[in-house]
Amino acid sequence: KPGVAAKGGGGFGGGGGGGGKERKAKRTPAEKKKKYRRASDMTAKEKQTAQQAAVLLRDGCLRIDNALKKETAARVKACILQEIENARAEKERDPEKTDEINARHGIDQERENRCVINLPLRADTIDGYAKACAEADPSFEEGVSDDPIIDALNELLDPVDGALGPLYAELCGEDAPLYEICSLVTWPGSLRQSVHPDAGHQPNPPLFAAFVACQDITPDMGPTLFLPGTQLPTTERARFDDMETRNDMIAEYSAPKAAALKAGDLAIFDMRCLHVGQANHPERGASRVLFNLTFRNPAADQPIGYDGSIRSHYFEQFNLAGMQAELERGKEKSDEFVNVA
C-alpha cells in the first residue's frame, strides 16, 4: 500500500505531539547565550519566541499566522508565477537549452502539475514582475512600491518584530546559513506524495524550513500534512523506519496536522519531521504557491542528505545576521542585495 494516507488532518498551532517517549531537547543557541534569564526580564516578543521554539522542538512543526502582509503575499505570488512563466518561455524558444535553464533556475518539474523553482533575492531581476504585481495587487506601483521579495524578507527576518528572524536566532543562532530560498507550486491535478522526511535523523535538528502561503490554502488545494513528533526517535518513528510496519504506522497515526493556511500565514518545521504534500484536486483545487525559506543549524554536524533549493551563487554566501544587516543597510537606497541578486 505505497499510497496509504494518514488519517485526519486538522489545522495546527501550538499543540499536538507525535506520541511515544521523547528525548529532552537540547538547549537552543539563544537559551545558552541567555543562560537562566528570568521570564520577568523578557519582552513579550521574546517570551513568544521562546514558547514557539519550545513547541517546534517538541512537535517538529509550528504554524504562525499573519507572518506576511496580505498584499506582500499576493505580490510575491505574482513574482513567482512570472518567473516560472519566463523559464518556460525560454525553454520553448530554445529547447536544446532546457537542461541548462532548469539547472540555472533549479526547476524541478519531474511530477506533473508541480514545480520547485529557486528564487532571486530581488524581484526586480524577474522580467515582467511589475506588471504581474500590479495585476495581482492594484495598489502596486512600479518605481513607487518597494521590491516584493525584499518586502517579504524584511517582514519575515526582522530581528525584533519578524515572524522568523527571532525564531531562527533562537533555534539556530545568528550565524545560521541560508540554505534555501525557493518556491513550491502545485496546480490542480498534482498527485499526493509519499510520506517522507527531508533530512535523516541526527541528535541536533539540521534544518528548519518555513512554507509561507501566498494565498489561502483550502483542503482541496493539497495542504502539506505533518506528523507531529516524528522528528524524534520515538516508537512511532521506528515503526515508520521499518518497511514492514510503515504503512500501518501512517494509516494509524492519530493526529496529523494539515497546513491549511491563510495568505501570509506560515508553517515552519524541523525537516526530520515526517510530512506529505497532498493532492491538489483536479476540479476543486487551485494553484498553491508557497514562498520557502530554510536555514541550517550549525550545531548539526552530521551529513544532512538533502541539497537545498537555492541559486548556486547564493549557496553559503549568507547567514541570518548577514541577511538582516544587508536588509537594514539597503533600506535608505532600496539597493539590498543588488550586487548578488
pLDDT digits (tens, 9 = 90+) for 274-307: 999 999 999 999 999 999 999 999 999 999 988 8
**pLDDT at site 122:** 97
- Cα angle 179, 182, 188 (rounded to 5 degrees) comes to 140
Least confident stretch, 25-29, 68-72, 193-197, 228-232 = 25-29
| CB 324, CB 150: distance < 8 Å | no
Name the CA radius of gyration of the chain, rounded. Answer: 20
CB 226 within 8 A of CB 275: yes
Nearest CA-CA partner of 255 in 231, 235, 279, 226:
226
- Is residue 2 predicted with pLDDT exceeding 60? no
Give the range among 87-101, 162-176, 257-271 with minimum mean pLDDT. Answer: 87-101
Mean pLDDT value of segment 251-265: 95
d(CA 245, CA 234): 14
Amino acid in the structure at residue 158: D
What is the distance between the alpha carbons of residues 269 and 275, in angstroms, rounded to a whole number? 9
Q: Determine the pLDDT at residue 13.
A: 60
Q: What local confidence, expressed as pLDDT, does residue 107 receive?
A: 77
Contact 334, 113 (CB under 8 A): no
Name the more confident of 95 and 26.
95
CB atoms within 10 A of CB 135: 12
Over range 1-15, report the average pLDDT: 45
Q: pLDDT category, 32, cuts 50, 70, 90?
A: low
Q: Is pLDDT above 80 for 8? A: no
The three three-digit cell numbers of residue 196, written as one number:
517522507
DSSP state of 309: -
154-175: pLDDT as tens digits? 999 999 999 999 999 999 999 9
Give pLDDT, residue 247: 95
Could you tell me if 282 and 217 are in contact, meaning their C-beta atoms sit under 8 angstroms apart? no
Closest CA to 119 of 141, 89, 160, 152: 152
Q: The whole model's pTM is what?
A: 0.89
- Displacement of CA 339 from its chain's centroid (Å): 25
Biggest distance spanned by C-alpha atoms of the chain: 63
